[in-house]
Amino acid sequence: MNLINFHSNDCKNCYKCLRHCNVKAIKILDDKAEIIEDKCIACGHCLVVCPQEARYIKSDMDIVKNLLNSKDKVVATIAPSFAGSFKMDNPYKFVTALKKLGFDAVEETAIGANLITKEYNKFIDENNLENIITTCCPSTNYLIEKYYPSLIKYMMPIVSPMVAHGKMIKKKYGEDVKVVFIGPCISKKYEAIDNSEAIDAVLTFEEVNQWFEHSEISIEDLEASNFDEQSDGEGRSYPIVGSIISQLNINEENSNYNFIKVDGLDKCRELLKELDSGNLNNVCVEINACVGGCIGGPGNPKNQEGLFVRKNKVKKYSSKDVKNIKTQTYEIEGFDLRKKFSSNEVAKPDFSYEQIRNVMSQMGKVEKTDELNCGACGYDTCKEKATAVLAGMSEMTMCVPYMRSKAESMTNIIFEYTPNGIFLIDENLIIKEYNPTAARMFMLKNNAFKEKNVLTLLNDDYIMEAHDKKETIFGKVVKYPQYGLTIRENIIYLEEEKLFMIIMNDISIEEKRKIQFGNMKEETMEAAQKVIEKQMRVAQEIASLLGETTAETKVTLTKLKKLISEEDGDIK
């Protein structure tokens, strides 16, 4: 059941989640991140660091609201780190705020923590373990079960304070009561599923804080209220690193154990590796997935105060004198608080040396010096990255140096083989680079003109205009008769780089063709004019001849008409 993941539409392919995932349980394909639940330990750190807030966390909010609207009694069990997670001058105001939301009773999970301390001590007295590992943190429990199953034998087989308190509430109020855990831990959502007989729903502090905002509940404006049941103080300190082992009935002086407290997954894994290898023995370990312990949980409100401020507030709260306040009236006998941890070992990918080297070669990691192991892709080494590609967890394009090298290679190909001449000059008009085409156009040898003033080669008013105005100029035609060139010139100002890029398109042949075409038109027009003039002369000559012939014809016809008229008169 995927309780946490990423919204693919919001994922921006930055790999930050993978870089912060200690067990590399995130698959990134087609530039989208996806949490692989079988590998995940539900620490939630990847969700916290996501800069795009593309995270998805399954919420029990609707379940809780429906419970509150039902006839069932609903009890909230509150993790003691709440005292540092919310901005309030009196932590007991938080109880009032929850009652306003509709909870019938509000109790401290620290009551369960007190019981767990007793169970730990009882188990240690009854067993002679070579090493001891506390089991209050679900994420570190998953870490051992999935990645260090050989160490399960050292885990104290005891449930967490949340589950213990849930069972206590069920016994006190009856099996029909509904229990909602509220705390800073996302992995508690998974733990609750495995312990549904004790916990009915889980909300993070962040979810409850949003609920307060939507309900327009301001904690600071409320009166303080006592818990319906609360701890005697010792259980409240569980969120602070080292507090669990400090309450055990053993210490380094009266036992063979060395006490170790670790927080943060990097340190946890380092410790577990040393235990797994057999290099570390006779230790009693308190292990916390989050830096700072539960105080640093990923389910804290976004507007929370700093880690050390929260720590001081929890310390102050846990040290309060509660002797005159009603505390745990539970019958604590008869609870089954034992838990069986089982191996869920994640299979390690098994690829041949040739397969891995082939992928690395495709990523440009041919020589040992090519393996930068920069970690930008999210994996610590290039070999791990190649293995992830083979396992279908990653893509070669996630290798930043590889993609940069590929981009630079493409850029170099374009720069080397473009038919346009290209010059790069700085703001002092010094030539920083030019390509082979530009060298051929201006008959330059090697890098002879690098670091020289461009005006010694290109006496160009447009270059000076672009330089003086710090602007881009397009489509100017410039002639260099000494090189037999006519150039269409684009001068682009690269403001960030403080460079000018001059792109020259040789239009000399085009210009020659224009001239030739112009000459041809003039010659054609002259020839046409001569033809027209000749035709006019011929027409005029023809017209003159026609005029003389017509006059003679008229004279002759007139004489003939007169003659015919005279003959007709004689006959009459």
Q: How many domains does the chain have?
A: 3
Q: Residue 374: which domain range?
A: 353-406
Residues 154 and 281 in one domain: yes
Residues 294 and 439 in one domain: no
- What CA–CA distance (Å, rounded) separates 77 from 108? 5
Check if the beta carbon of residue 69 is closer than 8 Å to that of residue 60. no
Residues 429 and 305 in one domain: no
Determine how many CB atoms are found less than 10 A away from the CB of residue 70. 10
Name residues whose C-beta falls within 8 Å of residue 259's C-beta, 6 or more positions apart in sequence: 245, 251, 252, 283, 284, 286
Name residues whose C-beta falls within 8 Å of residue 532's C-beta, 6 or more positions apart in sequence: none
Which residue is listed with tokens 């009773």? 105
Asked, for residue 10, whether it belongs to a domain, the answer is no
Among 260, 294, 318, give the residue marking a domain's end. Answer: 318
Helix 161-173, helix 187-194: angle, nearest 10: 50
- Residue 324's pLDDT is 45
What are the average pLDDT values for consecutive 10-residue runs of the chain, which has 572 residues? Answer: 84 89 93 92 94 90 96 96 93 96 96 93 90 96 97 97 95 93 96 95 97 95 92 87 91 79 96 95 95 94 88 88 54 79 93 92 86 87 92 85 66 78 91 89 83 87 90 90 90 89 87 72 74 77 72 70 66 50
Determine how many CB atoms are found less than 10 A away from the CB of residue 208. 26
Q: Burial letters for 377-389: b for 16+ Cβ neighbours within 10 Å, e otherwise?
A: bbbeebbbbbbbb
- What CA–CA distance (Å, rounded) separates 343 from 73? 37
- Residue 373's pLDDT is 87
SS3 track for 373-417:
CCCCCCCCCHHHHHHHHHCCCCCHHHCHHHHHHHHHHHHHHHHHH
Residues 230 and 292 in one domain: yes
Residues 370 and 254 in one domain: no
| Amino acid occupying residue 214 | H
Would you state the structure tokens that stand for residue 470, as one six-digit string? 């710090």
Burial class (CB in 10 A: 0-12, 13-18, 19+), 257: buried
| Amino acid occupying residue 446 | N
Q: Is the dihedral of CA 397, 402, 406, 411 positive or negative?
A: positive
Asked, for residue 425, whether it belongs to a domain, the answer is yes
Q: What is the CATH number of the domain that holds 453?
A: 3.30.450.20
